[in-house]
Structure 1
Amino acid sequence: MSSLALRFAPRLGKSAATVASSQANSYYTYSNQISQPLERKPTYTTAEEAVKVIKSGQTVFASGAAATPIHVLNAMTNHGKENNLRDITVVHMHTEGPASYCAPDCKDIFRSKSTFMGGNVRAAVAEGRGDAIPIFLHEIPILFRRKLIQPDVAIVSVSPPDEHGYATLGTSVDCVRAALENSKVIIAQVNKQMPRTFGDSIIHESHFDFAVNVDIPLPEHGGKGSTEVETKIGNLIAENLVEDGATLQMGIGNIPDAVLNALHNHKDLGIHSEMFAGGVVDLVKKGCVTNDKKTYHRGRIVGSFLIGPKKLYDFVNNNPFIEMLEINYVNNVGIIARNPKMTAINSAIEVDITGQVCADSIGTRMYSGFGGQVDFIRGAAEGFDGKGKPIIALPSVTNKGQSKIVPMLKPGAGVVTSRAHAHYIVTEHGIANMFGKTLRQRAYELIQISHPDHREALEKAAFERLKTMPTPN
């Protein structure tokens, strides 16, 4: 067969073994644009059959958050154990579910490589059985497009194809498109309960090598309600820092939920965020979120991945009001800065008295990742209209009563947001504005919003560190 004929030869109904042995016939032969229909169809099969394509020494990409393909990943784990496979790397952002491939008995079979850690892989990383890559969210697609990570197999969760053969990536676009465009084999977990989304989410089923039909609920987060402390923080931010017409970014967690719950008297809010929570649904229904003042994607909520309660998934399903876009666009500082009154709300593990923010580790123990914090903190600070507000919000103390405002970060703790990036720091005791302040002014501001039980000790520690008393002027 000539090279030209091979380029357009369809692959119909090939087995896992055939796909593995004939990569020259992969969809690269036609196009790496996953929304372009190809003259081929996927093999619909079981998860157990589909994962047989995975061999020792390969790299597997898995989509994450609510789109974690848990059913197929569990089958992959069993396949690795039953067939004595070795040295398989599993690359992913934050995933949900058990991450069974990270269990101690899989140590020599699979090695997790996280670009943002979830709780299901923390033990593996802490014990040296897994890896974490410190990286900004907006740069993760570059890993695939520059071939720094080259997946042999991608396992993703998608919505069912429509009458034209188009499925969607549903709740997770983020870096998934980049991974798919650079993977040799694609296994799709086709979930009837995966929402159908718009934007960069579209993928034609002809790009799937194998498809596994499932009908299972998506992982859920949120809906537990806020504590008194979290409610106070939410009210402080909503009443003092969020203006009408502001564009909001906020991640997952009780503090972002508390902020959303306090915004029901605001007008013309917009959303441009790598992810958003269930509280946005209520604000849309009440008319508080209109996106009318946005200069980019006016009238649309912009996100990149989702995880929340079921009402959030029902809200985004087949809803053109929401655009799910690639993370390298959503988290691009230049794009973020173009939004009006860009207000970025992020959390932290601890903050030292000079404004250094640790958000990815507890001492030397890795906890999460850089995520989108710096992307949005910087984007808000560089806002074209000069009205952006970069905010770090955290309770003043831990569950054990230890201060989260500290003289120095714990040994080995990572600085995610530098002291120069930090602007507003918020606890339940108030708001500290770091911008343009000297070290002793910063220490003063932060001590004022620390827990009263710790202020005297913090003041003494600040004097010892700075050789001068913290003062407001």
Structure 2
Amino acid sequence: MKSKELINEKYITVDKALNLIKSGDVIVSGLGSAEPKEILKNLHKISDRVNDVTVTTCLPMEMAEYFTNAKYKDSFRMDGWFYTAAMRKGQKNGNISFIPNHLHLAATKRMDHKKTNIYMGTATIPDKHGYLSLSLSNVYEKRMMEKADLVILEINKNYPRTLGDVEVHISDIDYVVETDYEVPELPDVEPNEKDLMIGRFIAERINDGDCIQLGIGGIPNAVAASLGDKKDLGIHTEMFTTGMVKLIKSGVVTGKKKNFYKGKHIAAFALGTKELYDFLDDNPSIMMMDGYWTNDPYVIGKNDNQVSINTTIEIDLTGQCASESIGAVQFSGTGGQADTAIGAQMSKNGRSFIALYSTAMVKNKETGVREEISKIVPFLKPGAAVSLSRNDVDMVVTEYGVAELRGTTVSERVYKLIDIAHPKFKEELFIKAKELGLIY
């Protein structure tokens, strides 16, 4: 059968896609902008005929009724690899739970535990040969498609055709739903003064020819903005961002010094602005690869001079990083923080940075008044998840400087971390460290 005839056979409506879902199904959705927006925002409409449907997601962007509205909690539950604002809003309903994971193992470990009945995601319009590009993510998507009983993709002419390990033939897809919405964007966060100070401290420790991994937000954007005088940087990252596009366009990033895939920029997913999506479209220098491979610390470590830059919510005086929860309340996810931090340190001349502001403004539960607290603490909040163990921390950066922790003792760490804490909390931290027996 010709590709065109095969494609035409597989077109269905959103309603038909919803009709394929039955009670007890386990659905996996694409990550971030790769989620099937039209299907998910209408999923609650079948609540009257289904129950116990599980949707496994990562970085969901659609504030869909099926999980944000408590009235549907008996019909649907959400299991998430990484929380967003949408999930934080919905978790109070009691039908959302986090899946602890390192991102490169998210798919394989999940498949060991739970069979996926349906995979739903997004893709480009099929080309003349019948191939679609999964476009913006292959963290786990392709692996899940291969194992699922049913694969449904929303195809959209607005999605960029990316290259790498993201091509799928129409014969391997059960159904497609044609859509025409704009690609969901994550706006750039303009760096503030603290971001820029932290960005400069990190940039001072990045050399010409280094291979970098960046996340998104004010601090990573500030790092990118501080790299304008560097030469021949490379990219091997889980997330491709607008800041990276700017570095490539300015000639700072060339990839010429990488140990493998020279001249290519490697990522597992992309999330950002229209400028990013336009740059990705049909760009042979960008390779969207399987997250199982991209985020494998052993693969990351094969590039010399690999630099990992991540952020954390709070860090204790021994170096434990709580990057995904506030106490016991899940806020985001581990993602690839441990993957990339460990991988960078396995690299010849590699470095790993954990960045955070020295303080945060938090509402006092008793008075209701917002007050400044230290984010460098004697011990983490009760119930806090340790996203990066103290064994794997390298350099910690605040707006007050850099603490180099590699190979240090606990007592050495106390002094180094207090040195980059906000001045108003230093004395209190010393007193607590002595009470805990961390220093004498």
TM-score (ref. length: structure 1): 0.88
Taking a change above 3 Å as real, the CA distance of residues 366 and 224 of structure 1, as seen in their structure-2 partners, is closer
Indicate which of 372, 375, 382 corresponds to 1:411: 382
Indicate which of 147, 163, 178 corresponds to 1:198: 163
More strand by percentage: 2
Which residue number in structure 1 is paired with residue 106 of structure 2? 140
1:390 aligned onto 2:361: no
Structure 1 residue identity aligned to 2:197: K
Indicate which of 46, 52, 69 corresponds to 2:13: 46
Indicate which of 26, 39, 59 corresponds to 1:72: 39
1:402 aligned onto 2:380: no
SS of 1:187's equivalent in the other structure is strand
Taking a change above 3 Å as real, the CA distance of residues 352 and 127 of structure 1, as seen in their structure-2 partners, is farther
Q: Tell me if structure 2 keeps the 8 A contact 1:440–1:466.
A: no
1:104 aligned onto 2:70: yes
CA deviations 1:407-438 (Å, max 9, x no partner) are 11000001111111111000011000111211
SS of 1:302's equivalent in the other structure is strand
1:316 aligned onto 2:316: no
Q: Tell me if structure 2 keeps the 8 A contact 1:342–1:389.
A: yes
Q: Tell me if structure 2 keeps the 8 A contact 1:392–1:426.
A: yes
Alignment of 1:247-286 (within 5 A): 247-286=211-250
Q: Tell me if structure 2 keeps the 8 A contact 1:144–1:182.
A: no
Taking a change above 3 Å as real, the CA distance of residues 190 and 467 of structure 1, as seen in their structure-2 partners, is closer
Which residue number in structure 2 is paired with residue 462 of structure 1? 433
Which residue number in structure 1 is paired with residue 368 of structure 2? none
CA deviations 1:259-313 (Å, max 9, x no partner) are 0011011001000000021011111111110000111111100000111011000
Which residue number in structure 2 is paired with residue 211 of structure 1? 176
SS of 2:262's equivalent in the other structure is coil
1:89 aligned onto 2:60: no
Taking a change above 3 Å as real, the CA distance of residues 427 and 71 of structure 1, as seen in their structure-2 partners, is same
Take 1:439 and 1:398, find their aligned partners in 2: how far apart are those partners? 25
Which residue number in structure 1 is paired with residue 265 of structure 2? 301
Which residue number in structure 2 is paired with residue 22 of structure 1? none
Q: Tell me if structure 1 keeps the 8 A contact 2:25–2:53.
A: yes
Taking a change above 3 Å as real, the CA distance of residues 39 and 333 of structure 1, as seen in their structure-2 partners, is farther
- For residue 467 of structure 1, report the CA deviation from its aligned partner: 5.6
TM-score (ref. length: structure 2): 0.94
Take 2:134 and 2:396, find their aligned partners in 1: how far apart are those partners? 35
CA deviations 1:343-380 (Å, max 9, x no partner) are 00001010001101011110010111211000111111
Take 1:381 and 1:370, find their aligned partners in 2: how far apart are those partners? 18
Taking a change above 3 Å as real, the CA distance of residues 184 and 335 of structure 1, as seen in their structure-2 partners, is same
Which residue number in structure 2 is paired with residue 151 of structure 1? 116
- For residue 86 of structure 1, report the CA deviation from its aligned partner: 0.5
CA deviations 1:51-101 (Å, max 9, x no partner) are 2100011111110212121111112222x22x4310000012211110322
Take 2:198 and 2:412, find their aligned partners in 1: how far apart are those partners? 22
Alignment of 1:346-385 (within 5 A): 346-383=310-347, 385=348
Aligned residues: 429
1:122 aligned onto 2:88: yes
- For residue 398 of structure 1, report the CA deviation from its aligned partner: 1.1
CA deviations 1:130-185 (Å, max 9, x no partner) are 11110100111213554x22221111111111111111110011100111001111
SS of 1:186's equivalent in the other structure is strand
Indicate which of 277, 292, 299 corresponds to 1:328: 292
Indicate which of 263, 273, 290 corresponds to 2:254: 290
Structure 2 residue identity aligned to 1:120: A
Which residue number in structure 2 is paired with residue 20 of structure 1? none
Q: Tell me if structure 2 keeps the 8 A contact 1:159–1:168.
A: yes
User: What is the aligned-residue identity percentage?
Assistant: 36
Q: Unpaired segments of 5 or more residues in structure 2? A: 363-371
Take 1:463 and 1:189, find their aligned partners in 2: how far apart are those partners? 58
Q: Tell me if structure 2 keeps the 8 A contact 1:126–1:365.
A: no
- For residue 336 of structure 1, report the CA deviation from its aligned partner: 0.4
Take 1:362 and 1:467, find their aligned partners in 2: how far apart are those partners? 24
Instruction: List structure 1 runs of 4+ shifted beyond 6 angstroms.
Output: none
SS of 2:86's equivalent in the other structure is coil
The structure with more radius of gyration:
1
Q: Tell me if structure 2 keeps the 8 A contact 1:348–1:392.
A: yes
Take 1:224 and 1:151, find their aligned partners in 2: how far apart are those partners? 35
1:433 aligned onto 2:404: yes
Take 2:92 and 2:430, find their aligned partners in 1: how far apart are those partners? 34
Take 1:331 and 1:185, find their aligned partners in 2: how far apart are those partners? 27
Q: Tell me if structure 2 keeps the 8 A contact 1:245–1:340.
A: no
Q: Tell me if structure 2 keeps the 8 A contact 1:353–1:442.
A: yes
SS of 1:420's equivalent in the other structure is helix
SS of 1:293's equivalent in the other structure is coil
Take 2:116 and 2:50, find their aligned partners in 1: how far apart are those partners? 17
- Aligned-residue Cα RMSD (Å) equals 1.7
Q: Tell me if structure 1 keeps the 8 A contact 2:313–2:356.
A: yes
